[in-house]
Chains A and B, each alone.
Chain A
Amino acid sequence: MAPTKQLLFDLAKTIRSKNAGVDLITFDVIFADRTSYERVRQSEVLSREAVCRIFGIASERIVEHVAFEPALAIKFTIRRLVPSGSPGDGDIFGSQQYGPLLEVEVPA
């Protein structure tokens, strides 16, 4: 069968978001095997520029973007516009911000 593009949902073991302190939200995309980790990392579908496109934010809002090899993970952290728990904040724990990542397409 010819290789086809896949969704990040199918390739990653864990896709999550969470507060990292009161001013930041951090995203972890963790893979079960090195092949998937390398494939996604090299595809650049989660690069700094891609993350900006996915969430519609300027590059300055990404305060960290690292490949964390021991955990086979890609991790990035963005700055909130208002601190967690301020009135109007829809996600005090920052735990439901990862949704758009599930549908990221990874080329073959």
Chain B
Amino acid sequence: MPVSIQHARSANRTLRIVCPNGHLGFAPIKKGSFEIGLGADPDLICADSGSCDIGPGPLGTDTSSSPLAWQTHDLEHMLLGARRLGVPMIVGSAGDTGTNSRVDLFVRVIQELARKHALPKFRLGWFHSEVPKSSIAAQMAAGETIAGLDGRAPLDAEALCATDRIVAVAGVHPFIALLEAGADVIIGGRSSDCAIFAAPAIRAGFPEALAYYYGKVLECASFCAEPYAGKESVLGEITMEDVKVTAMLPAQRCTVASVAGHAMYERRNPFFEHVLGGTLDMSACAYEQYDERTCRITGPRFVPAQELRVKLEGSGRIGERYVGMVGVRDPYTIANIDQVIAWARGQAREQYGESGYDLYYTVYGRDGVMGELEPLRDRPGHELCIVVQAVAPTKEMAEEVCMTGLRQMFYARLPQVKGTAGGVAFGLDEVLPASPAYRWTMNHTMRVADPMALFATGLTEAGV
């Protein structure tokens, strides 16, 4: 077997990237394997900080789902490592959602960290990804179709109206522009995960197909290694012929199984990845064990897009939300729980009418997790927990509707119930405020003439 790439670069031209975290800020970077990565002669340190998995709330409310302290922790380790080695650092999809406020927040954190550690002056680049509703409306008015993804219908005026905030998903272009401008640290708005890593490789002249694959394999850090361990660093190396990826945690290995397995992680199929500008085709990828902890990949292809279409993510507020929960033990009540819920819904209807609010009942112990996909919903457990959510225009109304929807279960009238002193058990006889309810109103694409059109870049300084 060849010497591990941890110790020796491949003989031909290479670019090495350390990725310490697949979702920066969501859980803290593990420092041990990151230090090993820093010792492996990387040319850049890159990480993605975003995800749609956190639901539509953070984009809608323009907040992070990760605590600022953890975001700062991760940025601090990456920044100190990058400045110590004198290599660029790139973060994409800042602060979970990649909205403008999250980019600005990360830029401020980097500036504060540079001051705190008295780092010599460096150039700090950023770009924004938010798209105003008005510019989408203008496109639609001009006859442009905002096409739906994953079976969604094209965007209509109603869905746009129901949207509060939109981000466009950047490709490699703003990252390359900022590297060209001399940025030492880049904080990106919403962007394709793989573009963060592909951008420096494409700028350095490596083939696009290998560069996008390089990004694809590195984006989730140690999720491409085994055994399973999160937040550990991996080291990637790209050459003109191949991509290699090595686990930095001594207990982990990048194997053919783990790397090929990762190609299908949280994606609809294992073969294609769409980015602004084209499609990465992994169907002809070959995987081989290069050394004990390194997998080598060859054969990805890249198909440039016929027309540039940028992905848009939009979140819209439905209303304020309260939640409550009850338990049920009576077997007869359990067997007739839908009637109990229907009774409570009816009581809410009597008081608040047919519309203008929503009540949701999640029946744990029957189908609370899987809902309509649950094959065993006709075999509920001997106890149920029912979570009631009310969504309404105001907090006051949401609280009242929730209390009605919850407490009326206690008074449900079932014809043959033996217990006549209350139909459900309260662990808490109260309803609790929850975050406002949002929904993903947009998962669409829009044609653009210029891949930079929606992504304004800026360059500033940090350090002393």
A residues in contact (CB < 8 Å) with B: 14, 18-24, 26, 28, 30, 32, 54-57, 63-64, 66, 68, 70-73, 75, 77, 79, 81-93, 96-97, 99-100
Chain B residues whose CB sits within 8 angstroms of the CB of A99 once the complex forms: 369-370
Cβ-defined contact, B257 with A71, below 8 A: yes
Of the residues B151, B369, B440, contact of A84 by C-beta under 8 Å? B440
Interface residues of B (CB under 8 A from A): 52-57, 149-152, 256-257, 260-261, 263-271, 285-287, 313, 318, 321, 358, 360, 362, 368-376, 389, 391, 437-440, 443
Q: Is the beta-carbon distance between A81 and B270 smaller than 8 angstroms?
A: no
In the complex, residue of chain B having the shortest beta-carbon distance to the beta carbon of A92? B55
A90 contacts across to B, CB distance below 8 A: 362, 368-371
- Please determine whether A87 and B52 come into contact, CB atoms closer than 8 angstroms: no
Which residue in chain A gives the minimum CB-CB distance to B367?
Answer: A90
Contacts of A30 in B (CB 8 A): 257, 261
A68 touches B260 (CB 8 A): yes
Docked CA distance A92–B370 (Å): 11
Q: Are A87 and B391 also in contact (CB < 8 A) when A18-B266, A96-B369 are?
A: yes
9 A-B pairs with C-beta separation under 8 A: A20-B268, A21-B149, A63-B150, A70-B263, A71-B270, A72-B257, A79-B151, A97-B370, A99-B370
Q: Which of A21, A88, A97 contacts B443 (CB 8 A)?
A: A21
The chain B residue with its CB closest to the CB of A84 is: B55
Q: Is A88 within 8 A of B360, CB to CB?
A: yes
B312 to A: closest C-beta gap in Å: 12
For B52, the chain A residues whose CB sits under 8 A away are 19, 21-22, 84
CA of A85 to CA of B57, assembled, Å: 8
A68 touches B270 (CB 8 A): yes
Contact present for A85 and B439 (CB under 8 Å) = yes
Whether the Cβ atoms of B260 and A70 lie closer than 8 Å is: yes
Q: For B373, what are the chain A residues with a Cβ–Cβ distance below 8 Å?
A: 55-57, 97
* Chain A hits for B285, CB < 8 A: 70
